[in-house]
Amino acid sequence: MVKRFFERFYVGLILLFLYAPIIILIILSFNGSKSRAKWGGFTLKWYKALFQNQSIMNALYATLIIAILSAFIATIIGTAAAIAINSMKKTPRTIMVAITNIPMLNADIVTGISLMLLFVALKYTLGFSSVLISHITFNIPYVILSVMPKLKQLNPHTYEAALDLGASPVYAFFKVILPDIFPGVLTGFFLAFTLSLDDFVITHFTKGPEIHTLSTKIYTEVRKGIKPEIYALSTLMFVTVLLLLIIINRKNAEKKEPDKKV
Amino acid sequence: MTDNKLINLVNITKSFGDNIVLDDLNLYIRENEFVTLLGPSGCGKTTTLRIIGGFENPDKGQVIFEGKDITKTAPNERQVNTVFQKYALFNHLTVAENIAFGLKIKKKSKEYIKDKIKYALKLVNLDGFENRMPDSLSGGQQQRIAIARAIVNEPKVLLLDEPLGALDLKLRQDMQYELIRLKNELGITFVYVTHDQEEALTMSDTIVVMNQGYIQQIGTPEDIYNEPQNAFVADFIGESNIIPSIMVEDRLVNILGANFACVDAGFGHNKPVDVVIRPEDIDLVKPEEGIIKGMVTSLLFKGVHYEMEVQAHGYDWLVHSTDLVPVGSEVGIRVDPFNIQIMNKPESEDEEAVELEI
């Protein structure tokens, strides 16, 4: 009994540490008073103010466009890369997997500065497109990471079976390979989308003066003093990412169900 | 079976890296023939099948199909269909969609496809399975769906790559009868790959025994079993006593110091040969009636017969008999002349008898 209590207490403590800051942020976003110390009653006015703030809305728009585009493009490139890597012989495959893994372990700040230096060296104007390219770049490894296990599970003969039945290689890919690896592709897309939505450091170094994403916008705003709109914005971002994670996990859980029966 | 050569493999050589899998292989397959490529793993049988299917390109040589060179033709443009070892069903499609896969590509009408699915499922004894998912089927059922999926396309040749390998014994035997029935009903050519000699003997019109990239012997199951051309074939197909002997003269062979009458001739005088005697062809008689004498050293009950080992003249003779002879008994060994098969000594390593790991 006592042991169970401590177990629960311990888990509760961990959750508290993890989520207390976010819960405070969420509560403050509904606080009628501008002060952080005083509860001024429940209000949605900061959310209203948020949606009326044109510069924040522009940043939100840019963030979403970049997240969707970069996730989409990275998914295509990453899936193609994963298929290529998977069909390599053992040694080159191991090397390629390692090479694609390194950017994920690399500190964001290093990636960010390197990308900025590259753009500057190429005399590429920093702006929307440079941010997009950067996001695609750091998203590709994550897509490869999610697609590879699905490709490994694939029976190598299903593709041959499709060809055998008269399918062209392209038809066989879309009808046979893609449906089988699709859960991995989808996970990769959502992961890329979330990471892009979330990124500050790399965006900060590659964005140039013209454009803001939500994270860089919040950073700039905070330096001028924190407005409660930012709490509202952060709450919305947190909820969005939370929802996406729930969707991804639900998808994976569904996929695992049929296996259990076997 | 007709004499019409449907597939002709000419001088096929294939290697993977340094490993030569097929070395100058020549083989033809007639229309309506059930041909089995038989051999231990790594003998090149699956590679041969994949070359016919178009999944591997030979380094050298040609694949001739109905008189046309199809060596470079893509798999999706060949009139053959394959049943893969691990079924390779499309798991995200229903059984009906799996079977319809090839027909849809060929743009057949909906009614035609529907009829074909029904017909194919009936043929493999799985009526009413249209809407099941492959995951929910047993191994045997999945394999039959894979066969149905291949045959609805009415291929000239059906290639089967160890299709029964993953099934248990009883199911495997049932499926062997099913395959023979299918072959007779459909009247198409079957090219079957297996390492299971019993499967090969049961189903085939022609068996091609392969080892280390070479064809060891081609013949009917009876030929291969009764008259193996070398020690490898003798050892691979069934159990046998392979005894180094001397061919004294035509129709007389000296086995372990005793002269046995045989029916083979033309090996020369006093020439070393290998003799193959099947365990079931050895008669155990009273010691004084035998050509050589020995003692029973072990006895196992195998159901249909007893398996005994008889030590005689320094060799452990493997004997199958329905009569029990207790361990320790003195016995005489007799072999009828037509049951002694004489073979030349192996000329190369790949013709030697091998220890099998299956």
For residues B20 and B146, state if they share a domain. yes
CA distance B106 to A82: 31
For residues B263 and B212, state if they share a domain. no
> CA angle B162-B23-B267, nearest 5°?
100
Angle between helix B110-123 and helix B95-105 axes, rounded to 10 deg: 130
CA distance A71 to A143: 9
From edge to edge, which strands make up the β-sheet containing B330-335?
A: B282-285, B330-335, B292-301, B306-312, B315-321
- Number of structural domains (chain B) is 2
Global pTM reads 0.76
Q: Three-class SS of residue A155? A: coil
Answer whether B47 touches A (CB < 8 Å). no
Q: Three-class SS of residue B109? A: coil
Answer whether B55 touches A (CB < 8 Å). yes
pLDDT value at position A140?
A: 95
pLDDT value at position B96?
A: 94
* Interchain pair B85, A157: CB under 8 A: yes
Phi, psi for A202 (deg, rounded to 5): -65, -40
Q: Assign residue A123 a region (left: φ > 0; alpha: ψ between -120 and 50; beta: otherwise).
A: left
Instruction: Judge contact between B243 and B315, C-beta under 8 A.
Output: yes
- Ranges of chain A whose pLDDT falls below 70: 255-262
Helix ranges (H only) for B187-259 are 197-203, 221-226, 231-236
pLDDT value at position B307?
A: 93
pLDDT value at position B349?
A: 64
CB contacts of B86 in chain A (<8 Å) are 155, 157
Distances (CA, A) of B88 to A6, B135, B146, B156: 51, 11, 7, 21
Q: Which residue of A has its CA nearest to B161?
A: A157
For residues B199 and B142, state if they share a domain. yes
Distances (CA, A) of A134 to A71, A195, B140: 11, 12, 51
Distances (CA, A) of A106 to A95, A143, A144: 17, 16, 16
Sign of the Cα torsion A136, A138, A144, A146 reads: negative
Gap from A76 CA to chain B (nearest CA, Å): 21
pLDDT in tens, B35-53: 999 998 888 999 999 999 9
Q: State how far Cα B195 lies from the chain centre.
A: 6
What per-residue string of b and e applies to B10-41 under the rule 16 or more CB within 10 Å gives b? bebebeeeeeebbbebebebbbbbbbbbbbbe
* Interchain pair A164, B81: CB under 8 A: yes
CB contacts of B102 in chain A (<8 Å) are 165-166
Copy the structure tokens of residue B295. Answer: 């003692």
Q: Where are the domains positioned within chain A?
A: 54-234
How many CB atoms are closer than 10 A to CB A76?
14
Name the residue range of residue B44's domain: 5-226
Answer whether B92 touches A (CB < 8 Å). yes
CA distance B34 to B32: 7
Instruction: Judge contact between B193 and B161, C-beta under 8 A.
Output: yes
For residues B195 and B116, state if they share a domain. yes
Which of B89, B92, B105 is facing A167, going by the closest CB pair?
B105
Q: Is residue B355 part of a domain?
A: no
For residues B201 and B301, state if they share a domain. no
Gap from A97 CA to chain B (nearest CA, Å): 23
Distances (CA, A) of B207 to A74, A104, A180, B165, B339: 52, 55, 38, 18, 21
For residues B54 and B169, state if they share a domain. yes
Gap from B163 CA to chain A (nearest CA, Å): 13
pLDDT value at position A256?
A: 56
Q: Which residue of B has its CA nearest to A260?
A: B135
* Interchain pair A163, B90: CB under 8 A: no
pLDDT value at position B1?
A: 53
pLDDT in tens, A210-242: 888 888 888 888 888 778 888 888 898 889 888
CA distance B329 to B299: 11
pLDDT value at position A168?
A: 92
Q: Is residue B23 part of a domain?
A: yes
**pLDDT of chain B along its 358 residues, tens only?**
556 788 999 999 999 888 889 988 999 999 889 999 999 888 899 999 999 999 999 999 999 999 899 999 999 999 899 999 888 899 899 999 999 999 999 999 999 999 999 999 988 888 999 999 999 998 888 988 999 999 899 898 999 998 888 778 888 888 888 888 888 888 889 999 999 888 899 899 999 999 988 999 999 999 999 888 888 898 888 888 999 999 999 999 999 989 999 998 888 888 899 899 999 999 999 998 889 999 999 999 988 899 999 999 989 999 999 988 999 999 999 999 999 998 888 766 666 665 444 3
Domain A54-234 carries which CATH code?
A: 1.10.3720.10
Gap from B262 CA to chain A (nearest CA, Å): 50
For residues B155 and B215, state if they share a domain. yes
pLDDT value at position B17?
A: 85
Provide the β-strand partners of residue B83: B160
CATH label of the domain that carries residue B302: 2.40.50.140
* Interchain pair A157, B53: CB under 8 A: no
For residues B53 and B178, state if they share a domain. yes
For residues B40 and B77, state if they share a domain. yes
CATH label of the domain that carries residue B180: 3.40.50.300
Q: Which helix (H) or strand (E) holds B19?
A: strand B19-30
Copy the structure tokens of residue A218. Answer: 């919040």
In the 3-class helix/strand/coil scheme, how is B254-311 assigned residue by residue? EECCEEEECCCCCCCCCEEEEEEECHHHEEEECHHHCCEEEEEEEEEECCCCEEEEEE
Q: Is residue B113 part of a domain?
A: yes
Query: Which residue of A91, A165, A182 to mutate against B (max B Cβ within 10 Å)?
Result: A165
For residues B66 and B99, state if they share a domain. yes
Distances (CA, A) of B107 to B93, B104, B112: 18, 5, 10
On whether ipTM exceeds 0.90, the answer is no
Q: Is residue B352 part of a domain?
A: no
